[in-house]
Amino acid sequence: MSKSSFKELFRSGVIAALLLVSASVVSGQINLKKINGGELSAISTAVPFITITPDSRAGALGDAGVATKPDMSSQHWNVAKYAFIERDGGLSVSYTPWLKELGIDDINLAYLSTFYKPTRDQVISGSLRYFSLGQIVFTNDQGDIIKPVRPFEMAVDAGYSRLFSDNFSGGITFRYIHSNLTMNYDTDSRPGIAVASDLGFYYQDELRLSGGNDGGYAVGFALTNLGTPISYSDDSEKVPLPSTMRLGGRFDYEIDDYNSMSFMLEFNKLLVPSPPERENDSVVRGYPEPESVVLGMIQSFYDAPGINYPDGSYSSTFREELSEIMVSAGIEYWYSNQFAIRTGYFHESSVKGNRKYFTLGVGLKLNVFALDFAYLVPINGQASPLYNTLRFTLGFDFESLKL
């Protein structure tokens, strides 16, 4: 094998390996066999790190966040929630170790979010997300070390939200994404760069329940990561961002002056076209890939080719489209608005990734800061990058620091 051929093969292998590490962020360890009678047909996207739950509160609620009570990390879930936050400003820092159970200590996600409320009905917000892929050592065909590198991915956000009425708000976020998987190892590859935006709406109101107890409800809707596809070289195929639609609700129940509970239910779906079934480069089931991002988002609601069963038959398109909907459910208990206990459940179809897990967590809120922890428990026998890992979020309240 020639040196140039080996270099090209090696370069392709490195890029593929790093992409697989990045993709494991979302998919975990997926068994590429027929699962529960249907063949796996997960939808592939670029930069899946931007879909990782960054904060420990939502991480303890089964990854539900589009309609939860507003907090300092609302930027990731639904920027419109900031308009109802009671404080004038705040900052939170979250840290999530990755693949800790395998003894890897240099792959992690760090998330910084902040907001400021200049007027009663307007909020300006921002966030920084940094995903470190650890150290990778490049070698030549003799095994000599060329250089060690540390690939990384990052996203920077700026958001704005405002109240439209006493109960309804909306917001928008602009995002810059930088994915450097090869660290300029050679001239044929480059960092993947994209821009995206989020659009969110949020409604909340109070309820007067039977027995004299107070309560409330909320509904949230968000379109996230709507943006340009990414490629890592001039001649490589562009891969779409993980554009997602989220819809969820919350019910609050005030037990007494010291005890309260909230119940959350959320549905989310990737707005990315399903891969078609092909024979001899011809599409036999489903639809060809669209030429624009907007058409792809629209097509994602009806283009599923159907679940492929072992006997050669296919399910209906509608059934596979339903299997693309992921479900999150969570329960949050507060005592005296200072101590919280949380639990949740996340469900994904066995033919779309097969992620299923319970989550647990606690929270502590004091005068100046808040501290949250989350823990994930897989239930389907598959390993998770977050198994046996404790995540935490530390938040600071600017208003409490005023003299």
Give which of 347, 345, 360 is closest to 390, Cα–Cα.
360
Residue 183 has pLDDT above 80, yes or no: no
**Domain CATH for 114:** 2.40.160
Mean pLDDT over all residues of the chain? Answer: 84
Q: Which two tokens stand for residue 85?
A: 């936050």
pLDDT for the residue 186: 64
CA pair distance 347, 185, nearest whole angstrom: 39
pLDDT tens-digit map of 351-373: 888 889 999 999 999 888 899 99
pLDDT band at 39 (very low <50, low <70, confident <90, very high): low
Give which of 391, 351, 387 is closest to 33, Cα–Cα.
351
State what percent of residues in the chain have pLDDT above 70: 86
Residue with tokens 């329960």: 331
Opening angle at CA 187, ends 184 and 191, nearest 5: 45
Q: Which residues of 17-55 are buried (b: 16+ CB within 10 A; e: fewer)?
A: ebbebbbbbbbbebeeeebeebebbbbebbbbbbbbbbb
Residue range 23-43: mean pLDDT, rounded = 48
Look up the domain containing 287 and give its range. 3-401
pLDDT band at 289 (very low <50, low <70, confident <90, very high): confident
Give the 3-state secondary structure of residue 70: coil
Q: Which two tokens stand for residue 102?
A: 């395998």
Residue 288 has pLDDT above 80, yes or no: yes
The total domain count for the chain is 1
Residue 19 has pLDDT above 90, yes or no: no
pLDDT band at 318 (very low <50, low <70, confident <90, very high): confident
CA pair distance 361, 343, nearest whole angstrom: 6
Residue 156 has pLDDT above 90, yes or no: yes
pLDDT tens-digit map of 82-119: 999 988 999 999 999 887 776 677 789 999 999 999 99
CA pair distance 245, 164, nearest whole angstrom: 22
Q: For residue 278, what is the enclosing H or E element?
A: strand 277-279
Report CA-CA distances (Å) from 42 to 21, 288, 343, 355.
16, 16, 27, 11
Strand 152-163 relative to strand 145-149: parallel, antiparallel, unpaired? Answer: unpaired
pLDDT tens-digit map of 205-226: 998 887 777 899 999 999 999 9
pLDDT for the residue 216: 93
pLDDT for the residue 38: 52
Residue with tokens 């009678």: 37
pLDDT for the residue 27: 39
Residue 58 has pLDDT above 70, yes or no: yes
Residue range 28-48: mean pLDDT, rounded = 60
> What's the predicted TM-score (pTM) here?
0.85
CB 133 within 8 A of CB 107: yes
Residue 2 has pLDDT above 60, yes or no: no
Q: Which residues lie below 8 Å from residue 119, measured CB to CB, with a gap of 6+?
A: none
Residue 400 has pLDDT above 70, yes or no: no
pLDDT band at 37 (very low <50, low <70, confident <90, very high): very low
